[in-house]
């Protein structure tokens, strides 16, 4: 059983983009625009079509079984509009993921996004998390550490602002993938510097604050192989020793996925990070969709790198299956 912990619905039918475009146009014209949730015109056939030639085809071709699936991260766009904008958009996106998982229960398991409009109380996100987990069977959430889209003017992850959300994640026993959305600050490229910088930032905030000691059951997935962290493992360990930060305690709350798109990167990841803290992920169909001319294979076909990495069969089994099940206890595997 090979479980991919990191997939987004990047190939949505046109009705999704049309709904969002109209919403963004309305709130651009009037920043106080509330609007209504309304309906998103997407048929089941369109959903099937959007997946059959993409994620489902690639699952079969690459030999993975199930993808933990969430709304397109770069489209979360928490910085756009006001709290109503993000709330209606988020509810639609999560309901769409539920439909995908109902159509293909053997292939996808649902993870939600949260409304997280900047400057609004975290309680709106807590409520949506509860709705998704308790009423719709979701098994995890994506949490954007920077809803401002690259300006980082909100509260750091250790701030009390976030605590009601951390408490709810622990209570529901679901993990959070710490995942930013598109950058609206032109200093940053969304999937290049913004994503990897945010991954590194999230780990550093956990390490330097030690706030996870207050949440023994809190589990964060750090995507994209952990940004710069595995490569700079020695720097972080050294800083921890210099400052009396508890490095091992921080790492015990963090899982790094394998969305690293070359063999040498994966080799380093599995050598440096304890196997117990690594989850298989590919983020297909995502940031890098082409074929590596050096290998003849897709950059994001990460299963190949794990297969070829210096790992025992038991370690591979942990990364492909067992660790994901531990981190996502609500995941029910198809029998
Ligand atoms: Zn992602």
Report how far apart the first and last C-alpha atoms of the chain are (Å, whole number): 11
In percent, the amount of the chain with pLDDT more than 70 equals 100
Is residue 310's pLDDT more than 80?
A: yes
Q: Which residues surround ligand 1, an ion (CB under 5 A)?
A: 73, 283
pLDDT at position 40 is 96
Residue 172 has φ and ψ, to the nearest 5°, of -80, -10
DSSP class of residue 330 equals T
pLDDT at position 229 is 98
User: How far does residue 10's CA lie from ligand 1's centre (Å)?
Assistant: 10
User: How far does residue 287's CA lie from ligand 1's centre (Å)?
Assistant: 8
User: How far does residue 179's CA lie from ligand 1's centre (Å)?
Assistant: 7
Phi-psi region of 178 (alpha: psi -120 to 50; beta: other; left: phi over 0): beta
Sequence-distant (6+) residues with CB within 8 A of 138 are: 94, 97, 98, 110, 111, 112, 132, 174, 330
Give 286's pLDDT tier (boundaries 50, 70, 90): confident
In percent, the amount of the chain with pLDDT more than 90 equals 98
Sequence-distant (6+) residues with CB within 8 A of 194 are: 150, 180, 182, 183, 185, 188
Is residue 247's pLDDT more than 80?
A: yes
User: How far does residue 146's CA lie from ligand 1's centre (Å)?
Assistant: 14
pLDDT at position 54 is 94
Q: Are strands 291-292 and 278-279 parallel, antiparallel or unpaired?
A: unpaired
**Average pLDDT for 132-146:** 98
Give 20's pLDDT tier (boundaries 50, 70, 90): very high
User: How far does residue 238's CA lie from ligand 1's centre (Å)?
Assistant: 29
pLDDT in tens, 185-201: 999 999 999 999 999 99
Is residue 334's pLDDT more than 90?
A: no
Is residue 271's pLDDT more than 90?
A: yes
pLDDT at position 23 is 97
| Rounded CA separation 137/109 (Å) | 9
| Rounded CA separation 13/103 (Å) | 15
User: How far does residue 73's CA lie from ligand 1's centre (Å)?
Assistant: 6
pLDDT at position 302 is 97
> Is 95 known to be catalytic?
no
Mean pLDDT over each residue of the chain, to the nearest integer:
97
Render the burial of 54-72: b for 16+ CB within 10 Å, e for the rest.
bbbebbeebebbbbbbbbb
pLDDT at position 179 is 98
Q: What angle do CA 190, 308, 302 make, to 5 degrees?
A: 25
Is residue 335's pLDDT more than 80?
A: no
| Rounded CA separation 285/265 (Å) | 20
| Rounded CA separation 173/95 (Å) | 21
pLDDT at position 285 is 87
**Average pLDDT for 42-62:** 96
pLDDT at position 94 is 98
Catalytic residue, from 83, 186, 283, 294: name it: 283
Sign for the CA dihedral angle at 131, 168, 332, 45 comes to: positive
Sequence-distant (6+) residues with CB within 8 A of 189 are: 183
User: How far does residue 6's CA lie from ligand 1's centre (Å)?
Assistant: 6
| Rounded CA separation 123/326 (Å) | 27
DSSP class of residue 93 equals H
> For the whole model, what pTM was predicted?
0.97
């Amino acid at each position: 059983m090979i479980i991919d912990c990191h997939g987004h619905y990047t190939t949505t039918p046109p009705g999704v983009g049309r709904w969002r475009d109209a919403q963004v146009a309305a709130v651009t014209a009037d920043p106080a625009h509330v609007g209504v949730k309304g309906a998103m015109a997407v048929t089941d056939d369109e959903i099937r079509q959007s997946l059959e030639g993409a994620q489902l085809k690639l699952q079969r071709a690459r030999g993975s079984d199930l993808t933990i699936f969430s709304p397109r991260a770069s489209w979360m766009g928490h910085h756009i509009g006001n709290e109503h904008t993000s709330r209606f958009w988020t509810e639609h996106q999560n309901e769409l993921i539920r439909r995908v998982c109902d159509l293909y229960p053997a292939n996808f398991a649902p993870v939600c996004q949260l409304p997280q409009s900047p400057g609004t109380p975290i309680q709106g996100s807590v409520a949506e998390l509860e709705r998704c987990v308790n009423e719709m069977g979701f098994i995890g959430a994506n949490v954007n550490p920077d809803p401002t889209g690259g300006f980082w003017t909100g509260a750091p992850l250790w701030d009390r602002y976030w605590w009601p959300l951390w408490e709810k994640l622990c209570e529901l026993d679901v993990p959070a993938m710490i995942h930013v959305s598109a950058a609206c600050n032109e200093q940053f490229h969304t999937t290049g510097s913004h994503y990897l910088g945010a991954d590194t930032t999230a780990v550093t905030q956990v390490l330097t604050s030690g706030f996870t000691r207050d949440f023994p059951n809190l589990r964060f997935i750090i995507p994209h192989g952990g940004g710069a962290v595995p490569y700079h493992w020695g720097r972080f360990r050294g800083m921890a020793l210099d400052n009396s930060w508890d490095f091992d305690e921080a790492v015990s709350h963090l899982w790094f996925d394998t969305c690293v798109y070359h063999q040498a990167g994966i080799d380093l990841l599995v050598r440096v990070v304890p196997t117990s803290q690594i989850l298989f992920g590919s983020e297909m169909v995502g940031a890098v969709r082409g074929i590596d001319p050096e290998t003849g294979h897709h950059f994001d076909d990460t299963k190949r790198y794990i297969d070829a990495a210096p790992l025992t069969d038991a370690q591979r089994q942990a990364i492909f299956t067992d660790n994901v099940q531990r981190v996502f206890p609500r995941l029910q595997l198809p029998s």
